[in-house]
Structure 1
């Protein structure tokens, strides 16, 4: 493998100014868009030796055939241009949003001559003010019903309003006091619009002001013995207080903020957004993000915040995130411009909550995000209908005679060619069968394809068509504790290997050498998540958001996790055995060393004086440990 890709530009050709870059494939498709305050420094990270890149970054770099860049004046302009290009090109390696929910909002159509309050999922009503989103339709309808007692504005449809206007008789809502009936002239259209503006102001967080005003009016009317007006104000006050009691006070009355929580793994991220207005939670929104590259939390925050305000709702003055991105000042400037464009004044502050009630609420939002990620994965894997459809789609895509009711997936893990191990995970009916997982230790191998061949050869020995008796147990194959060894011989419908054409070819050779037939074989490559079949020049491309691809990704990731876990156990045993061989250092002190330094890497990097600081380790023993770890 070459150290880097052939299209790498010369270092002197890349400018050092801020800018935006695009990776493209050989057909001109934009694969990834990114920004940098120093283009040369940023792009050099992608053109490091391929073996040093994260596997997902390496996949993107290898999929591309060229890179282009555009220089801009400031980092803020780079942020704006990156956002525009991502929206325009929808690059597959940038974060993909999967917000399949259609949230209900409370909308007030202030752009109309006679404004109307309504519950809607339509976000494109011209001139409307939106509040929410709400998670339940019944909750927002209940809120509207209460609020109309305090702000009796129009809530009927256009046809109902015109019919009442022509007939000169209001509808039922006008008769029961939940509408001021501008349709029949009980109040002017200007007076009605004033009520609508008060309604919008109350929903925007100015609730304490209105409660105080209504309370004072009620007392003044009672003092003047205008008991009819006092009773009306009393009913309005009760309606306002009841509406407020539906939302919990979480912060001070003057706090308007959006609080984000993000939980993520290698493939997906769950986002929770709490909208706090006037110290109360006014709306909750959640969605899922698909990750193609390995992004840190700070990079996710930037993308999530940008997309959260890609609608008509202006950002508040305070946005709380779990971690600040590198270009937080530029992101604040961009949010401020969005806020100004949508008719709100004041700059936007982006920060991480450190202490107090705000930090406690941010922790709650983060917990909700973690639960949402677990629920997302559980629902996709636990839904029987989705699993059945996924198995049927895999059968059709791979041309299998039957649905893959039993699938086995294999992955290889090693550390610079040492401690080579492999894993076998089993899914039956789309669900993991952990009692049938296997772990393989591989004494020696030339590369990953040879390791795949060895692993499958040992597993297929139990399935050989001409095997008269079951082979003797393989001492380098480890079942999970408590496993029935006879289950190892169950025939799978589908064998999956983690890799592309070379790995699939090695697995096909193992099948042929073992004389096993009737089992479908495929590999899932980490380049564009394509599926490779033996002797095929073109991959099978499953829809990115399909349940079939999700199931194959899940079994691949489980095999990877299982292999990595075993490989780390082997490494830990190697270090422990090396430590306990040092005279005067027993198992207890070895554990204390690893606990103190936190990792084997930190222990190996430590100096003698640092090792001697560990409880129970003196200078002489520290010197012996130092020399043993470098022997």
Structure 2
């Protein structure tokens, strides 16, 4: 490692890595020298998480930045990229839905998107859960008669069925002027911005004007639209119109787990609520937890509102405000209200976080894993589970797959797909042995607590022998279980009696889902490899026939069949060929 005394006393980001150069932790510091030295100094008091991490740390690196803000942004990006094992990770990679009103187009439309762009369009959201978005979109399409399609109107078109149903004004066929269509878009804009009173007032004026002009049919349509909008006003959750756009964040903490709840308020209306779970919180302060949550939550596609309100101030609040402001191009405030309606909504978010935590606790992963331990007669409750499977056809294009499950979810960053190298022909047991040996080395002996083998008792015994042989390389010897099909059942090492998994208990469903996941990964990888092999020309598999010779053969003979039917003399006469090469070529093609 680099000498600690040579580290710069400047702001930046540091990365700790293990012996295989895998990133274990990403952190930021105002003073890199002071922060990194604190991990290595004798007498330093580290929390259990960091103490465990330092046992695996073999290398570190750092990146100097020009400011704390640059360090904050870089830290967020690196955590998102590497998902380090010892960082607290928000496992939420969803892009939340928005409604996009394409006001920059000549004939604007509305669509659902999951990414906000700076393209001149208006975006409304996020809508969580998405069912609320579908209801709003359906309402707009029923009552505002703007186009549903995304077609270009380069030439007149015949109106579609939406026009016949009275749900589109058919701009494609020239049945509405650009000025009248623009007024429809203005009405949609008012509706989505929550300015429904202004919209109703506008529509009532429009209805009266149509009545005065004796356009009674059109006036009746506007009247029906007003009634529909008034019904939606009654059904929507009006928080407080003066609140505008704000996110209210609460959290509830118990042991090393934290539940966050976010209320999305837009234009004074509650348009959604979402809760999130953070694990491995350990010794984090409340301010640090909020910093981590805000950094990871708003580093995705979600657009921050004008103000974010939390029960306690997050660490680095000023830096977070600068970062969020840069992302949206306008000021974003992060605050902690002490009284009034804002304080009530933050308290409500805290309460919802507590309820969400307790509801999940009833169906907790811990209880599920304890049931797995009891049913499989394991000495300890597994925290992580891995699974292996082999896929091949008569020994051809054999591949192996490994999947990793932890904390209630599959960790796809730890999936591995391998070509079988040392085993030829049909020998699934030896293939499984090679796969397990290579995975042990790949993970530097750090395997999950429980390993599942797709197969029966014989597969389990083969895997056990490999694990015993790898004993010196393993940091902890995992438990082994085989999961067989038809019927679904489990085999354990010290018993010949299978354990039935057809009972639909949560533990049975978990074990089968992990078995099915690795099987799907293995089969998918095998199909990919086999597909590539099938696309290869038979000439590519013949020794001594390189690209130039293949091109010459196909230029002269035109097809594989014509080459196969040619004589040695004909082929030997070609440029770059001789009699020996011609004989070998025909022997291979005619075999």
Following superposition of structure 1 onto structure 2, how do residues 498-513 of structure 1 map, counting pairs within 5 Å? none
CA contact (8 A) 2:290 2:315 kept: no
CA contact (8 A) 1:54 1:294 kept: yes
Cα distance in 2 for partners of 1:382, 1:69 equals 37
Q: 1:194, CA displacement in angstroms?
A: 6.1
The one of 390, 400, 403 equivalent to 2:376 is 403
Deviations 1:408-462 (A, max 9, x none): 89xxxxxxxxxxxxxxxxxxxxxxxxxxxxxxxxxxxxxxxxxxxxxxxxxxxxx
Q: When the two structures are superposed, what TM-score results if normalisation uses the length of structure 2?
A: 0.57
> Secondary structure of the residue that 1:316 maps to in structure 2?
coil
Aligned: 1:29 with 2:22 = yes
Aligned: 1:98 with 2:106 = no
State the match for 1:170 in structure 2. Answer: 160
Following superposition of structure 1 onto structure 2, how do residues 157-556 of structure 1 map, counting pairs within 5 Å? 166=157, 168-171=158-161, 173-188=162-177, 192=181, 195-196=184-185, 198-200=187-189, 202-219=191-208, 221=210, 227-253=216-242, 255-291=244-280, 294-340=283-329, 346-381=330-365, 391=372, 403-404=376-377, 537-539=474-476
Following superposition of structure 1 onto structure 2, how do residues 82-161 of structure 1 map, counting pairs within 5 Å? 82-99=75-92, 105-108=98-101, 114-118=107-111, 122-123=114-115, 130-136=123-129, 138-156=131-149
Cα distance in 2 for partners of 1:135, 1:335 equals 21
Q: 1:276, CA displacement in angstroms?
A: 0.8
Relative to structure 1, the CA distance from residue 18 to residue 146 in structure 2 (aligned partners, 3 Å threshold; closer, same or farther) is: same
The one of 42, 50, 61 equivalent to 1:68 is 61
Relative to structure 1, the CA distance from residue 198 to residue 539 in structure 2 (aligned partners, 3 Å threshold; closer, same or farther) is: farther
Deviations 1:364-390 (A, max 9, x none): 11111122222233323498xx659x7
Relative to structure 1, the CA distance from residue 405 to residue 271 in structure 2 (aligned partners, 3 Å threshold; closer, same or farther) is: same
Q: 1:351, CA displacement in angstroms?
A: 0.4
Relative to structure 1, the CA distance from residue 19 to residue 387 in structure 2 (aligned partners, 3 Å threshold; closer, same or farther) is: closer
Cα distance in 1 for partners of 2:477, 2:231 equals 58
Cα distance in 2 for partners of 1:348, 1:13 equals 38
State the match for 1:43 in structure 2. Answer: 36
State the match for 2:456 in structure 1. Answer: none
CA contact (8 A) 2:190 2:199 kept: no
Relative to structure 1, the CA distance from residue 123 to residue 193 in structure 2 (aligned partners, 3 Å threshold; closer, same or farther) is: farther
Q: 1:31, CA displacement in angstroms?
A: 1.4
Q: 1:223, CA displacement in angstroms?
A: 6.3
CA contact (8 A) 2:95 2:115 kept: no
Q: Tell me how large the CA RMSD over aligned residues is.
A: 4.0
Relative to structure 1, the CA distance from residue 315 to residue 69 in structure 2 (aligned partners, 3 Å threshold; closer, same or farther) is: same
> Secondary structure of the residue that 1:350 maps to in structure 2?
strand
Cα distance in 1 for partners of 2:44, 2:238 equals 52
Cα distance in 1 for partners of 2:322, 2:381 equals 51
Q: 1:46, CA displacement in angstroms?
A: 2.9
Cα distance in 2 for partners of 1:67, 1:28 equals 9
CA contact (8 A) 2:311 2:336 kept: yes
CA contact (8 A) 2:25 2:87 kept: yes
Deviations 1:447-501 (A, max 9, x none): xxxxxxxxxxxxxxxxxxxxxxxxxxxxxxxxxxxxxxxxxxxxxxxxxxxxxx9
Deviations 1:219-278 (A, max 9, x none): 555567665554343333223222232321112345211111222344433222211111
Structure 1 unmatched runs, 5+: 1-6, 341-345, 396-401, 410-500, 502-532, 552-631
Q: 1:338, CA displacement in angstroms?
A: 0.9
CA contact (8 A) 1:263 1:370 kept: yes
> Secondary structure of the residue that 1:143 maps to in structure 2?
helix
Cα distance in 2 for partners of 1:60, 1:111 equals 52
Q: 1:349, CA displacement in angstroms?
A: 0.8
Q: 1:320, CA displacement in angstroms?
A: 1.0
CA contact (8 A) 1:150 1:237 kept: no
> Secondary structure of the residue that 1:258 maps to in structure 2?
strand
Relative to structure 1, the CA distance from residue 370 to residue 540 in structure 2 (aligned partners, 3 Å threshold; closer, same or farther) is: farther
Deviations 1:315-365 (A, max 9, x none): 11111122222321111111111112xxxxx31111012111111011111
State the match for 2:422 in structure 1. Answer: none
CA contact (8 A) 1:274 1:285 kept: yes
Q: 1:112, CA displacement in angstroms?
A: 6.3
Cα distance in 2 for partners of 1:534, 1:376 equals 38
CA contact (8 A) 2:369 2:381 kept: no
The total of aligned residue pairs comes to 394
Q: 1:100, CA displacement in angstroms?
A: 7.0
> Secondary structure of the residue that 2:241 maps to in structure 1?
coil
CA contact (8 A) 2:129 2:272 kept: no
CA contact (8 A) 1:151 1:199 kept: yes
> Secondary structure of the residue that 2:263 maps to in structure 1?
strand
The one of 3, 6, 10 equivalent to 1:13 is 6
Cα distance in 1 for partners of 2:139, 2:260 equals 31
CA contact (8 A) 1:131 1:283 kept: no
More deviation, 24-33/124-133: 124-133
